[in-house]
Amino acid sequence: MNSTMTYGLPQEGKTVNANYTATAGTTVAITARAVRVFATTACFIRISTAGTSAVAATDMPMEARSYEVFTLPELGRISAIRETTDGTIYVTPMG
């Protein structure tokens, strides 16, 4: 990633979360074009507009206590499912 690339500042007070277990948890629709996603435990995530649930076998893995920044489709939602331990994703709009 280019070190000059930025998605703006976090939007204070706008973080949403979703708890996940062996059943996926999904956020509400997010209006921001970019988000920072933080996972408390190892999980798999999926970004969609329909709120489609994450699937452990096929979706993108995230390490425990890690974060990544993603651009989102309009009214995107993020779904997560655990790898082995229940957890929470925190999604902070950027910009």
In this predicted model, what pLDDT tens digit does every residue of 1-45 receive, in sequence order? 444 567 888 999 999 999 999 999 999 999 999 999 999 999 999
Is 7 contained in some domain? Answer: no
Q: What is residue 51's predicted lDDT score, i.e. its pLDDT?
A: 86
User: Taking 50 as the threshold, does the pLDDT of residue 90 lie above it?
Assistant: yes
Residue 50's CATH number: 2.60.120
Asked, for residue 3, whether it belongs to a domain, the answer is no
In a domain, 6, yes or no: no
Residue 52: give the domain boundaries. Answer: 16-94
- pLDDT (0 to 100) of residue 48: 95
User: Does 10 reside within a domain?
Assistant: no
Residue 22 inside a domain? The answer is yes
pTM over 0.85: yes
Could you read off the pLDDT of 37-89 as tens digits, one per residue? 999 999 999 999 998 999 998 999 999 999 999 999 999 999 999 999 999 99
Number of domains the chain is built from? 1
HEC string of the chain equals CCCCCCCCCECCCCCEEEEECCCCEECCCECCCEEEEEECCCEEEEEECCCCCCCCCCCEEECCCEEEEEECCCCEEEEEEECCCCEEEEEEEEC
Q: With respect to residue 9, please indicate whether it lies within any of the assigned structural domains.
A: no
Q: Is residue 88 part of a domain?
A: yes
